[in-house]
Structure formats: C-alpha cells, structure tokens
Structure 1
C-alpha cells in the first residue's frame, strides 16, 4: 500500500517520507522565492552539494538555503539519497550558505 502525506504548501497528497514529514511538492518548489519575491531554484551539483540560482538569471547564484513559499519561510537541503528537499523553517534554525560552484568556460 502506497502511503501518502500532504504537501506543507498546497496540501495535495504526496508520497510519504518519515524523514521529511513536511516537504513541499514539486509544484510548490517551482514557486520558491527569496525574501524579496524573486524566483529561485535549487540544484544538486555532480560533486554532491546544494546550490541555488535565480530563475531570471541562472548565472546569478543564490547564496543560502533560506527560501519562501507564499510568504512562509522554508529551508532547502540535500536529500539523503540526492535531490533537493524543502521543508518549513524551524524557529531559531540557522541559515546555511550554499556552495557556489566554479563554472569552467570553454572558449
């Protein structure tokens, strides 16, 4: 039996993960913003770390894991087996800097 839980953003059913009881679904993650309302995306690098970019300018890196969904503060983290997991911020939780990958330009 496939157990479900509700997305903490939109409340639609998502696959249950005990490790991530309040994670955002893909649709809600697509709407993440910074504190100024600018759209952001999070990615995993091939070297195994999390980094963020701005939707309007993917070359511009977003420096931390603090994000917002409809004005509510969340934190993005690497999933245990890869991917990005976004859950509500816990009061007093530290903001972690994301690593900025060096991009090699081939001329």
Structure 2
C-alpha cells in the first residue's frame, strides 16, 4: 500500500509533489497523490475543497473553512501551483502546472 491507501504501483511513477509512488494515469500524468490533495489551498493559504456537483459529474469548489463557493480551478499544494478539474469518469483530479522546486 502507498501512504494514501491506494494499491502499490510498480514504482515508476511518483507524485510530482511528495514523490509517493502512484499508479500512472496516462490522461493525467501530473496528478498528485491522495495525501497531497488534502493539503490544497488557495493562493493566500486558505484551505479548499473540490467536488462533483452531481452524480453525473460537474466541478465545484469551495473554501473548506466556511463553505463559501470559489469560482476557480487554481490551487496551491506546498507552494506549487496546481489545477483541479473533473476527472474523465467523475471524481476530482488535481494536477501540478508548475515545475516542482
């Protein structure tokens, strides 16, 4: 098992932020692991939550501390700019858009 509880991959692909091994999703090669997803904030450091708006999908974002809606896909994890979006078959995928220092 990996740290985020997913099945152990072959070790050739790693989270671009924390280097935890993960399964490679060819459609989302810069996706972050489940643990890093829990550290997502806005540019000012305010915690965010992303979710599907219905059973059929859709993308929603809100501030985790107040539930206030947020109209943006932009987010930050450990100082690295990322983008959250709806996955192809539902769920939320967060991908790194900057080079990791």
Shorter-normalised TM-score: what interval?
A: 0.7 to 0.9
- Compute the RMSD of aligned alpha carbons: 1.7
Instruction: Report the equivalent of 1:104.
Output: none
Structure 1: which 5+ runs fail to align? 92-107
Cα distance in 2 for residues equivalent to 1:41 and 1:26: 13
Cα distance in 2 for residues equivalent to 1:24 and 1:65: 15
Instruction: Report the equivalent of 2:36.
Output: 28
Trace 1:6-45 onto structure 2 (pairs within 5 A).
Answer: 6-45=14-53
Larger Rg: 1
Q: Which runs of 4+ in 1 moved over 2 A?
A: none
| 2:62 is aligned with 1:57 | no
Structure 2: which 5+ runs fail to align? 1-8
Aligned residues: 89
Shift of 1:90: 5.8
Instruction: Report the equivalent of 2:57.
Output: 48
Q: So what's the TM-score if we normalise by structure 2?
A: 0.80
